[in-house]
Amino acid sequence: MRIKIINPNTTQSFTDALQKLADTVSRPDTEIFAVNPASGPASIESFYDEALSVPGVLEEIIKGDREENIDAYVLACFGDPGLYAARELTDKPVLGIAEAAFHMAVMSGAYFTIVTTAPRVRFMTEHLVNRYGFSEQCKNIRTTPMKVLDLATSPETAIAKVIAECLLAIKEDHAEAIVLGCAGMSQYREYIEQQIGIPVIDGTVAAVKLCEAMVDMKLGTSKVLTFSWPRPEMAPQGRQLNIA
Amino acid sequence: MRIKIINPNTTQSFTDALQKLADTVSRPDTEIFAVNPASGPASIESFYDEALSVPGVLEEIIKGDREENIDAYVLACFGDPGLYAARELTDKPVLGIAEAAFHMAVMSGAYFTIVTTAPRVRFMTEHLVNRYGFSEQCKNIRTTPMKVLDLATSPETAIAKVIAECLLAIKEDHAEAIVLGCAGMSQYREYIEQQIGIPVIDGTVAAVKLCEAMVDMKLGTSKVLTFSWPRPEMAPQGRQLNIA
Amino acid sequence: MRIKIINPNTTQSFTDALQKLADTVSRPDTEIFAVNPASGPASIESFYDEALSVPGVLEEIIKGDREENIDAYVLACFGDPGLYAARELTDKPVLGIAEAAFHMAVMSGAYFTIVTTAPRVRFMTEHLVNRYGFSEQCKNIRTTPMKVLDLATSPETAIAKVIAECLLAIKEDHAEAIVLGCAGMSQYREYIEQQIGIPVIDGTVAAVKLCEAMVDMKLGTSKVLTFSWPRPEMAPQGRQLNIA
Amino acid sequence: MRIKIINPNTTQSFTDALQKLADTVSRPDTEIFAVNPASGPASIESFYDEALSVPGVLEEIIKGDREENIDAYVLACFGDPGLYAARELTDKPVLGIAEAAFHMAVMSGAYFTIVTTAPRVRFMTEHLVNRYGFSEQCKNIRTTPMKVLDLATSPETAIAKVIAECLLAIKEDHAEAIVLGCAGMSQYREYIEQQIGIPVIDGTVAAVKLCEAMVDMKLGTSKVLTFSWPRPEMAPQGRQLNIA
Amino acid sequence: MRIKIINPNTTQSFTDALQKLADTVSRPDTEIFAVNPASGPASIESFYDEALSVPGVLEEIIKGDREENIDAYVLACFGDPGLYAARELTDKPVLGIAEAAFHMAVMSGAYFTIVTTAPRVRFMTEHLVNRYGFSEQCKNIRTTPMKVLDLATSPETAIAKVIAECLLAIKEDHAEAIVLGCAGMSQYREYIEQQIGIPVIDGTVAAVKLCEAMVDMKLGTSKVLTFSWPRPEMAPQGRQLNIA
Amino acid sequence: MRIKIINPNTTQSFTDALQKLADTVSRPDTEIFAVNPASGPASIESFYDEALSVPGVLEEIIKGDREENIDAYVLACFGDPGLYAARELTDKPVLGIAEAAFHMAVMSGAYFTIVTTAPRVRFMTEHLVNRYGFSEQCKNIRTTPMKVLDLATSPETAIAKVIAECLLAIKEDHAEAIVLGCAGMSQYREYIEQQIGIPVIDGTVAAVKLCEAMVDMKLGTSKVLTFSWPRPEMAPQGRQLNIA
C-alpha cells in the first residue's frame, strides 16, 4: 500500500527525517511518500502558521487522490492542521499525528502526559485533547521554553529538557505513557523511552501503523455527511462510499 | 470607533448586506467597514471552504491593523474561521459571529437552539458550541436541507424552512432564544422574531455590539501567551499589551 | 437609556463607588442609577448573607420596572444573587456581574483566573463558573484571607494581596486575563492591570457595557417559559415578550 | 432523635400531609416536627417564590438550633431552596428533598427520570441535577401542564397525568426508578408505584431516612470552611465541629 | 432486619473487625452478618485480585437471598467489586462501600478527598468517582506507599501516614470531609477524625446505615431492566419487583 | 506474530467463527489462536455472566504469557470483561473489542452509533463509552429485543433487526459509522455494510489490526503503576517494562 505523509511546513530536513522514521516502522509491503508544500511557514508554532499551511496540505491530498494512487494520508504536525478539510477531499483514511498518538497511548497505559515545545501551544493542544475525547486520560500538557527549530539546531539541549519533563510527568502526573507533542521530536523517541522507562509514543509512527490497519480493514473516511465531497463534482465517479 | 467586518467569502452582495445591517445597529460614533477577500470560495459550506478562506481573512486583519487604524474586528461567518489566528495578529478585539451570538443568547434565555443551513455543518457547529462552553445551554442544532446561497436565490422558501425549525425548537427543545447559524440569514432576523415570538440572535449584530463594548472598556486581545504575536517582529512597537 | 445598578448590600459607600465607576465607562446617553436596599447585610460573604439580600434586590427590580422606566439592570455582587428570580420580574435585560465578567474575559484571553476574597466563597464561585459553562476556560479560583470590608478599611494591604495572587495566576495557572471576584475591588481594576500587565475584568463595568449592547439590540429577557412572569397578573399589559 | 421538616410555603395542609407521611416512615424513636413559615408564598413555582421563601426557612433553622434541640433538618421543597445557607446556620445535617431523592434513586436503579409539575421548573430542576452530579444517571425531566396547587384541588386528574409520564419514562427514557419532583406528590407515592411497577422515590421520605442515618453516624455539616458560621458570634460555644 | 456484609477477601480478622464495627453503629433491631468467601485473595490490591474475588461474593448473594432471609447487602471492599452483578442476583438493596461513602460525604461537606493505600489503586478509584457522578465534589485521591495488609501488621505507622495525607487534603485540596479508601482503615475512623477535626467517612458504616434506610423505605434494587435476573429461572416466584 | 483471541464464553462455534474471521483480515505473518475457557457461561448477557467469565479469561492470559509465546491478546466480548486485570498479567498489548471498535470508528466518521443486542446491556455499554472517552462521538446505543444466541439460531431475522436499527441510526442519530455491539455479529459485518452504505466496524477485526500495529511499534502495556504485576513474583525476570 502507498501512504503519503504530509509535513505541513517547508523544512525539507524534517520531511526527510519523517521519511526515514516511517520507513523503519512500516511493513515491507508499504511504500511511504513523505512530502512538504513548496511554500508556506518553515515551522508551525502558532495558529497563524497553521492557517497558512493548510491550503498547501489540502493540495497534497487532492494530488494524492487524483494522480498518485495513495491509500492513506498522515498529517505530520501535532496540531492536526486541516484534518477535517482533508477528510472531505478523499474517501481514504486521513490521520493527524496528535489524534493517532492519543489513541495509541490509551491502549498502553492508564494515563498519559503530552510533552511539547513552547508554552503558547498549550491552548491549541488542549483543544485537540478535548475534541478527541481524551480529557480524562491525558493528565497534563507539559511545555518547555523551546521552539520547534531548536530541535534541529541544538538537539541535545532540547532533548534533555524533554526528558526532564517526562520524568516530572511520571512523578507528578502519574503518567504511564508519554506522547511527544511535536513531529520534530520523532527521531529521538527511542532514546527518550530508554531514558525514562515508560512507553513514549510518536504520532507519526502511530499514524502510519493505524493507516496500515485501516487500509487492511478497507476502512476509509465515511462520506455520508460531515466529510462528504465539498462540491458534488469533486467526487470521483463510483467512489462516493468507502466500501470496497 | 472603527469596526471592520470581514466576510470570509467573496460574494459582494453578502458583504453589502452585512454593511447595511451593521449600520442600522451600530452607534452614531461607530464606523463600519464591511469587506471581503478578492479571491476564495463564494460561500462557506464545508471545512474545505473554511480552510481556503482563512488566509484572505488574516490578510484583512494585518491590513486593518497596519494601515486602516481599525479598533475591532468581526469575522462574519458562523464557523468563526481563523478566529484564533486572527487574534494572534492584533491586540484589538476580534470576535467571531458564532461566539458572539452564543454569549448574547444565554444572557436572554435559559436555553437556546441554533437553526442553520445544510446538515453537513452540524459537526462543525457542535465543535464551536463545545469549545466555547455552551453545551448545556444549547439544546439543539437544527439543520435544513438548504445551501447558503439558497438564501439569496429563493429567500422566501428558505426563510419559511427556518421559521418551521424555530417553532419546533420552541416546542421540542424548550428553546427560549434562537441563534441564526449563518450570516446569510441576518437580514431576516427581525422578521423571523416577529413570526415566532422569542428573541432571535444574529451573530453579526451581536459581534458589532460586543466590539463596541470591548473598545469602550479598552479591552482587547490578551497578548501574554496564546495569542501573542506569531513572530516577534510582527509586534508593533509599544503595543505588546492591550492596555491603553 | 437608564441602567439601574443594584448593590445588594446596604453599604452606601460601595453603592457610591459603583455609581462613580459606572459613570466613567457608560456612554454619554446612558444614565446610571446605583442603589442599595434600605435593610439587609452590610456585606455579602456567605450564602446566608446572599439569601437575606435577595428580597431587597427583587423589590428594586419591581420598582424599577413599574415606576422608574429602567431599561436594564445590573446585580452588583459577585455571587449574582437572585439573578434568575430577577429575570422573572422584568422583560428587560438583567445581568449579574460574575456572569458579565466571565463572558468578557473569554473574548479577551484563552484562559482566565478569578481572584477573590475569603476562601469560603470558593464553592459559591465554582458553582457560578460551572453553571455558566466556563469550567474549561476558568483555570483557577484564587482566594485571599481577607474579608470584603477589608477592601474599604485597609485597601493598600488588600490590593497588594490581590496583585500577588494575580501574578501567581499568570505564572502557575497560565491565566491570560483576571476576573476580579468582588464588586469591592472594582475601583482598583485599572491600577491592578497596570501592575500585572494582562487584562483585568471588573464585572460591574462589564455588565454595564453588556446592558448597553443588549438595549441597543432590543434584546431583553426571554419571557417564553423559564423567566415568564411568576404570576400572570404581574405581566404588564402588552409586554409579555421582549421584542420591541 | 428530633427531625424538623421545613415546608417553605405557607400552605398548612401541605405541612400536615408532610407530618403524616414522615410519621409513617420514621423510626419509633424519631420525632418529626413539620412546620412552615407564617408568611411567604402559598406554593413555590418560580425562582421568585423560592427567593421569598428562603428567609423564613432560615429563621426556622436558627430557631431549631437554639431553642428546639433539633438533630437534623429537611427542606421540603423540590428546589432545595436555601440549602447551602441553612447549612451555614447549623452543624447538624440539613438535607434538601431533591438531593435526598437523587441519592436514593441511584442506589436502586441504573437510571432515573424526574416527573414534576409545570414546564417552567425544568431549568431549576436541571440545575440541581447537574450541581449534585447526577447528570448521567438522570435520563429526563418530565413536566406536566399542572401547577403545584392542582395536586390539592383536583388530585385525581393530576396524578393520572403523573402516571402517564412515568409510563413514558419507562418506555422512552429507560428509567428504572422515578423521582417525584414536587413535595405535593408525596402522599400519592405508594399508589403511583403500584400502578407503574418500578420504584418511586419521594424526597421527603428519602430525606427523613437519610437524616436518621446521619444522626446515628454522628455525621453533621462540616464547619471547616464553606459552611462555617456566617458570623463568628453565631457559632455556639464548643460546637464549631460536627464531631460528637 | 438482617444485613449481610460481604468482605470479598479471605482474611478472617478483617471480617471480624467489620462485624464489630457494624455492630456499634447498627440499630438495635438490625442483625449484622459479616462473612468472607472460603477461598480467594487475602487482600484486594489490584484488578486481578478484584476479578478473582467476585465469584465468591456473588455466591454469598445467592446464598443470602435463598437461604438466609437477608434484607440488604454490603460489599465491603472499596473497589465495589461485583456490585452490578450482585444487583442482578437479588431484589434487595446492595451497596458498595465506596458508593455509600461518597453519598454520605457530599451531604456533609462541599468537597471531599479520598485517602487510600498504594498508588496503583488511583485509576480504579477514579473510575468509581466518575461512574457515580462525584467528579466535581471529589477534589483529590491521595495514596500512600502502603499495602492493605500494612494496616494489620503495623497500624500505627500506617495510620500516621493516613493522617498526614488528611491534613494535606484540608490544606491543599480544600477538603471538608475525608473518605477512607480502604475497608481496612474502618476501625481507625474515629481516631483519625479526632486528630484532623473534619468528618471522616467510613464506607462500611455508611453502607450499613443506608441499607437500614432503604429497607425501612421498602426500596430495593429495581428489577425492570439493567438489574433484572440474569436468567428468568433465577427470579423467585412473585418477587420480580422490589415493591413490598 | 502470534495473537491470541479469547472468547470469554464457552460456545465453541463462536470461537471458531472468530478464528475464521480473524484469519481473513490478519496479515500473512500473523498467527491467530482463538480459544475459549472450558467452563463458564455459554453467552455473556449480564454483569453476572461477565463476572463468571473473567477468571477463565485471566487464566488464558497467564497461560499465553508463560507457555504460548503470545505477542498480543484480544478479549472478544463487547463488554471488555476483565480488560484491566488482564493488562496486569502481561506486558504485551491487551485490547477489548469494544475499545478497539470505538477507536477505529472515530477515525472514519464524525459520529457513530452502537447497535447491539438486548436492552439490558445499554447501561454496561454506556459505561464503556464514557470510560474510554467517546461520549460525544457516540451518538446513540441502539438495542434490539434479541439475545446473543439468537444470532446463531435465527441469524436472518436477527440481522434484519440490526439493519433496521442501522438505518435509523443514519437517519435519526446522524451516525456516520456503525459499531457492532456484540462479537456474535462479526460474521455479518460485510453484509450489513453493503446494505446500509456506511462503514460498519467489528471490534474483533479492529482489535486484531490494532494488536498488529502495537506489536510492530514494540508498544505493550505500560507496567509502571496501574497495570504493574499484581504480585512482584509474577513479573517475568527482565521483562518489567514493555520496551524492547
pLDDT tens digits, B95-151: 999 999 999 999 999 999 999 988 999 999 999 999 999 999 999 999 998 877 788
Region F43-63: what's the mean pLDDT? 96
- DSSP letters for A158-180: HHHHHHHHHHHHHHHS--SEEEE
Beta-carbon pairs below 8 A across chains D and E: 141
Contact of A89 with chain B, judged by CB distance below 8 Å, is answered with yes
What pLDDT score was predicted for residue C238?
A: 59
Provide the sign of the torsion angle of the four alpha carbons B36, B37, B42, B46, taken in this order: negative
Report the CATH fold assignment for F98-202: Rossmann fold (3.40.50)
Give the separation between CA B43 and CA B148, rounded to whole angstroms. Answer: 7
Residue of E nearest to F127 (CA): E131
Q: In this predicted structure, what is the pLDDT of residue E35?
A: 98
In chain A, which residues fall in CATH 3.40.50.12500? 2-97+205-234, 98-203
Phi, psi of A62 (to 5 degrees): -60, -45
Chains F and C touch, using 3 or more CB pairs below 8 Å: no
Q: Tell me the sheet residues that pair with B138.
A: B112
Task: List chain B residues with CB under 8 Å of A131.
Answer: 127, 130-131
Instruction: Determine, for residues B217 and C111 on separate chains, whether the beta-carbon distance falls below 8 Å.
Output: no
Q: Which residues of A touch E119 (CB under 8 A)?
A: 174
For domain D2-96+205-234, the CATH architecture is 3-Layer(aba) Sandwich (3.40)
Q: What is the pLDDT of residue E239?
A: 61
d(CA C94, CA C221): 7
Residues 6+ apart with CB under 8 A from B145: B118, B119, B161
pLDDT at residue F207 greater than cutoff 60: yes
Contacts for F156 with CB less than 8 Å, ≥ 6 apart: none
Is the Cβ of F171 closer than 8 Å to some Cβ of chain B? no
Instruction: Tell me the one-letter amino acid at E239.
Output: R
Q: Dihedral sign, CA of E128, E130, E134, E136? A: positive
Candidates C106, C137, C174, C176: best to mutate against A (most CBs of A within 10 A) is C174
Q: Which region holds residue C238: left if phi is over 0, alpha if psi is between -120 and 50, else beta?
A: left
- F133 touches D: beta carbon within 8 Å: no
Q: What is the pLDDT of residue F238?
A: 58
Interval B208-225 mean pLDDT:
97
Task: Decide if F110 and B119 are in contact by the 8 Å CB cutoff.
Answer: no
Q: What are phi and psi of D209, to 5 degrees?
A: -65, -40
| Residue B110 sits at the chain D interface (C-beta within 8 Å) | yes
Any contact of E with B, at least 3 CB pairs below 8 A?
no
**pLDDT tens readout for residues F54-78:** 999 999 999 999 999 999 999 999 9
Strand partners of residue B6: B35, B75
Amino acid at B166: C
The predicted pLDDT at position C242 comes to: 44
Q: What single letter denotes the amino acid at residue A50?
A: E
3-state DSSP call for residue D89?
Answer: coil
- Identify from F170, F174, F176 which residue to disrupt to test chain B contact, counting B C-beta atoms within 10 A and taking the largest count: F174
> SS3 of B102, please?
helix
Start-end ranges of CATH 3.40.50.12500 in chain D? Answer: 2-96+205-234, 98-203
Whether D123 and B110 lie within 8 Å, measured CB to CB: yes
What is the average pLDDT value for chain E, to the nearest integer? 93
Average pLDDT over residues C142-162: 86
pLDDT at D240: 53
Stretches in chain D below the pLDDT threshold 50 = 241-244
C147 touches chain E (CB under 8 A): no
Chain A residue with the nearest C-alpha to that of F215? A209
Q: Does the pLDDT value for residue F242 go beyond 80?
A: no
Task: Compute φ and ψ for C149, nearest 5 degrees.
Answer: -70, -15
Q: B242 pLDDT exceeds 80?
A: no
pLDDT of the residue at A125: 97
A153 touches chain C (CB under 8 A): no
Q: What is the pLDDT of residue D195?
A: 96
CATH number of A98-203: 3.40.50.12500
Instruction: Look at residue E135 and tell me whether its pLDDT is greater than 70.
Output: yes
Q: DSSP letter string over chain C?
A: -EEEEE-SS--HHHHHHHHHHHHHHS-TT-EEEEE--SSS-SS--SHHHHHHHHHHHHHHHHHHHHTS--SEEEE-STT-TTHHHHHHT-SS-EEEHHHHHHHHHHHH-S-EEEE-S-GGGHHHHHHHHHHHT-TTTEEEEE--S--TTHHHHSHHHHHHHHHHHHHHHHHHS--SEEEE-SGGGGGGHHHHHHHH-S-EE-HHHHHHHHHHHHHHTT-----SSTTS-SSGGGSPTT-SS---
Q: Taking residues F89-106, report their average pLDDT.
A: 98
C108/B221 touch (CB, cutoff 8 Å), yes or no: yes
Report yes or no: A42 at the E interface, CB cutoff 8 Å: no
From first to last of the 244 residues of chain A, give the pLDDT tens digit.
Answer: 999 999 999 999 999 999 999 999 999 999 999 999 998 999 899 999 999 999 999 999 999 999 999 999 999 999 999 999 999 999 999 999 999 999 999 999 999 999 998 899 999 999 999 999 999 999 999 999 887 778 878 888 889 999 999 999 999 999 999 999 988 888 899 999 999 999 999 999 999 999 999 999 999 999 999 999 998 888 886 565 444 3
Q: Sort out which chain D residues have CB atoms less than 8 A from C226's CB and list them.
A: 120, 122-124
Domain with CATH 3.40.50.12500 in chain C: 2-97+205-234, 98-202
pLDDT given for residue F239 in this prediction: 61
pLDDT of residue C161: 94
| Chain A contact set for C174 (CB, 8 A) | 119, 122
Task: Identify the CATH number of the domain defined by range C2-97+205-234.
Answer: 3.40.50.12500
